[in-house]
Chains A and B, each alone.
Chain A
Amino acid sequence: MPQHIKLKRGFTINLAGKPEKTVSDAPPSDTYALKPTDFLGMIRPKVSVNEGDIVKAGAPVLFDRKLEAVKYCAPVSGEVVEIKRGEKRKLLEIKILADKEIVYEEYKQYSISDLIALGREEAQEQMLQGGVWPQLIQRPYGIVANPTDTPKDIFISTFDTSPLAPNYDILLKGQGNFFSAGVEVLKKFTEGKIHIGVDAKAEVSSVFSEAKGVVTTKFSGPHPAGNVGVHIHHVSPISKGEIVWTIDPYGVVQIGKLFLKGVYDTAKTVCLAGSEVSKPQYYQTHSGACIDKIVEGKIEHRNVRYISGNVLTGEKIESTGYLGFYNHLISVIPEGDEYEFLGWMKPTTDKLSFHRALGLLSFLNSSKKEYVLNSNMKGEERAFVQTGIYEKVLPMDILPEYLLKAIMAEDYDEMETLGLYEVIEEDMALCEFIDVSKHDIQGIIRQGINLLRET
């Protein structure tokens, strides 16, 4: 029997615009992009192609000069049409005009039985060249894993509890064999265990149940129960000097495909959801797709915000922007750039609140009520005043207020001892949502992580 961990702390945000369980083919996008900004640990990105070059899907186009072994590959085949840079020549996007038929860079193919006998070095070499390595994320810091490390354990969360989250059963339908193959490859990288966190409330999907030699733990409770960071904290917490790796189930499937099919296959199912989408559902596309064709004709209003990822941790993009490397969700919510008369005082049941202060009557609604929330800040930034609230949405033995203050004071010892090794932005996103003082908590966490990495 798998261990069942029941989490009490957290808050599930029930947004309107959940997807139906149908999957359609999205009209193919013209352009696809690889965004170095998606890779948080990347310090000195370097493009290895020029505008006008023709590339195959799975051909290396980018690397980090601090971690040269890891190659970032083209998601589709075609012509490199633009290498977009921002201020101080910061590399923003490598855009590829896609071929109608994708041509793949070919890598060595293996059978399942080959994989069992495969050695770490050989597997690692193929993963580094074949574009799937960046799916491995290192904790602490939430950065792309370093191939020279050996992690204590590897963690995979098979469910997502964030608002409008897609269902992995649908995202990975029929790809159980690739998932099992991916897990088989991952086993070579750790002497510890491969941990899989599953949703205790749902039946374990056949995609995951076929994988052998993994340790399954059930989790139940409100968001962030699906966050891999929370799983790590409860199963095998990270201390100073320890490294664990995490990987998204889609990444595991990609690894499986690289070895079983011999190609870097970036086909992915994405979810288009949110209150502003006329018919929220799933679409077939490829990693890094321009979202214009996917959202075209499906958005009900004009003044909306497109987010690659979920509303808590995603990135705001344009209607012609590109899907992030790690995202399977495009959220569309109303842009809240409006003034509201006495908005801070009006009694309402329509605005969602974790708190019960004056006039915030959303707690009277049924837990099934769905909310339409816009991007307004609902107040101004202030000093820390309310205490003891962050803990209520962070199911970890961490004192968030003290951790945040340690980062703001740039106190390295305190950051370490108060648990900065255990969290990344997504774990603290709910703290930012419920924050009375409207701090950029995720920004502060990344600032702290960057400080620790420098030392």
Chain B
Amino acid sequence: MAFQLPTWMALGPTFVLGLTALLLLVFDSITPNATSRGVLSGTATLGSLVAVGLSAWYLLAGTGAEPIRLYQNSLVVDTMTLFFAFVFSSVTALVSVASYDYLRDHSYQAEYYALVTLAATGMTLMAAANSLAVVFVSLELASLPSYALVAILKKNRGSVEAGLKYFLVGALSSSIFAYGISLVYGVTGSLLLPEIANNLAAPELTGVLGLGIMMVLGGFAFKTASVPFHFWAPEAYEGAPAPISAFLSSASKAAGFAVAFRVFLVAFPIEQLVTGAAASVDWVLAAQILAVVTMTLGNFAAATQDTVKRMLAYSSIGHAGYVLIGLAALSGGNNEFVLAGGMSHLLVYGFMNTGAFLFIALTEYWSIGRNFEDFNGLASQAPFACTVMTVFLFNLAGLPVGGGFMSKYFLFGAAVGAGFWWLAAVGAINSAVSLYYYSRVVKAMWIEDASGEFDIESKPVGLYAALAAAAVVTVLLLPGFGPVWQYATDAAAALVA
């Protein structure tokens, strides 16, 4: 090794994203009204692409193979941190490119990009958090910009209402989460995740500890839009600008899972909590119930929606349920693979789901309606965009046209391997249901005849570029799933060890 980067550089992706946000604010304060859309969107894209590059580079160089502990162990950079940093910054890049066209006539452009990159900073920090205090702070750093972003279309009542609802539910679950943290701290006397695990042997307060763990779980359920804290999600995703829906349903959800995986595996080892002296709460059982209920509710609700965006919103709840299998099938002796299944599904999901919502952004840009019928015959007008959307939808449904099939297969396969074949069976049935509503969109676009004329006056470059990039990656993840799975298992192995 001729040259060694300083250890704090391990947080490179986080720093780059944070600096990008600050830079955007500087642009805005120099010329509040004159900064061009191109500069803002370009800066945000460039910043997130640098973060993508850094996290990919670190992964390839094996930076996280030996966890790097920073700031008295309250932050840790391991393979999982970098894996998720890659997901968040990829989604941020796609969203930033696509927003260039979407925000054409909107105000608060600089603030928009600054908030997006700030939220992304919070998310990468969440993936690195090794102390409950940092978890809380980074969660808020990711959440607060999100509330504002959902409501950023100030003149649109849906947007404002969604933002308010999101904010209220968010505030409530934050306080539940904070209370849960304080209970855990009260019992174990520490906020650092590894130390909590060490201090778990305090039998006299097991009830309080159990309550605290359940409250922490509730906080994560909110962030990942899992039942029972899911009901903000359809409203928020529907009311928010479509690129923000993409951002929240892909990156923000993944962030919730990243931190949930770490907290539950490192701080609350399930063997101790079920059988040890500290036997207090079987959170794996809770996760199993959550997983089954979340996927079923999400998928069946999605099947009954009238608008495409709302359908995608509910289906994203369903996908949260699939990923929850990653937690729910633990303790089956196959932990590494189950967890890796959840992680790799989140990575693939980051691209396919972002792509699907960006297609919605495109239709909103063209002012095509929101219902399924409004998409009728769109393929004859915009064959490229519709082909790409078809790829996303079939991937989300788990047909083998891209990585979506791979990650689902590995996830369900690992669950069966861990002995939780019934979880996989519920997942498979849900997948079959999801094909119904996803193919409704495909049917509308390709097979139905157009009911009216579309007013497609232009093909926005930014949105098209983002869609194409997301589609290419989604498809390439089928043949190129090997490295994803490799890094995911490495990351998972480090956590469950």
Please indicate whether A and B come from the same complex rather than being unrelated chains.
no
- Which residues from chain B sit less than 8 Å from chain A, CB to CB? none
Q: Which A positions have Cβ atoms within 8 angstroms of B?
A: none
